[in-house]
Amino acid sequence: MYDWLMADPGLLFAFVAIGFAAQLVDGALGMAYGTISTTALVSLGVPPAAASAGVHGVETFTTGISAISHIAHRNVLWPLFFRIAIPGMLGGIAGAYLLTGLDASVARPIVLAYLMGIGLLLLWRGWRHVHVERPPRVVEPLGLVGGFLDAAGGGGWGPIVSSNLMVQGGAPRTVIGTVNSAEFLVTLTTSITFLLTLGLEGFTVAMVGLLVGGVFAAPFGALVAKRVKADRVLVMVGTVLVLTSAAGLWSWIG
């Protein structure tokens, strides 16, 4: 249905570059792949449901590779993994069904404003070196909300789950590794739901570029997350949150 996206070979390479950059950021900071990729597709005219379905289909592969890399680098806390993965899968199913039948844009500015506030808080903690590591207490609700918003809005798992776990005191390296690894199960569940509701038309050939770029970048993100100091990760995560949220709010206002 959207074969025009692939009519120009240069456009394929552009999507490869987008997929590579988005996955590198996502693997290293625990967020942004879905947001960047979905925004690019929607801006080119792909309906939101089809864009979210295609991006989640691609993420099934990229998050799988990213999870293997994070596990290999020992970035995963398994008790935390199951506490966010199971609610995230349930939220993803609900969000996918909602997006195929309703417009979920009403809550978008509220979520973006909230994420901008979280981003500013992480920036302040990173610059001031006041991040005190402690086990996060509020976990399961984050997985449920993160999975729901990720499916309904085409992105949100990382920004919601990773940033809030860090605000509660979670160590950036293990938070990013655990959230990225759990994302594989969430995206797999969401993709299956989209497949059942939209059919194969939701997964177009336009996703080839995103898949190629994302697969190449996936192994590097885990290494970056392991090597970079916690305070610097907080600053980078906060910067990404503020910039993407500001861009989303500006687009919504426009």
Q: Which residue has the higher pLDDT, 16 or 45?
A: 16
Write out pLDDT tens, residues 205-224: 567 778 888 888 888 888 88
In whole angstroms, give the CA distance from residue 95 to residue 201.
Answer: 19
Query: What average pLDDT does this structure show over 12-17?
Result: 79
Query: What average pLDDT does this structure show over 24-34?
Result: 79
Longest dimension (CA), the chain: 51
Provide the residue ranges of all domains of the chain, joining segments of one domain with +.
8-253
Query: What average pLDDT does this structure show over 146-157?
Result: 79
- State residue 104's pLDDT score: 53
Query: What average pLDDT does this structure show over 132-140?
Result: 91
Angle, helices 9-29/48-72, rounded to nearest 10 degrees? 50
In whole angstroms, give the CA distance from residue 241 to residue 238.
Answer: 5
Instruction: Give 103's pLDDT tier (boundaries 50, 70, 90).
Output: low
Q: pTM of the full predicted structure? A: 0.77
Query: What average pLDDT does this structure show over 160-168?
Result: 89
Q: How many CB atoms lie within 10 A of CB 207?
A: 27
Residue 102 scores a pLDDT above 60: no
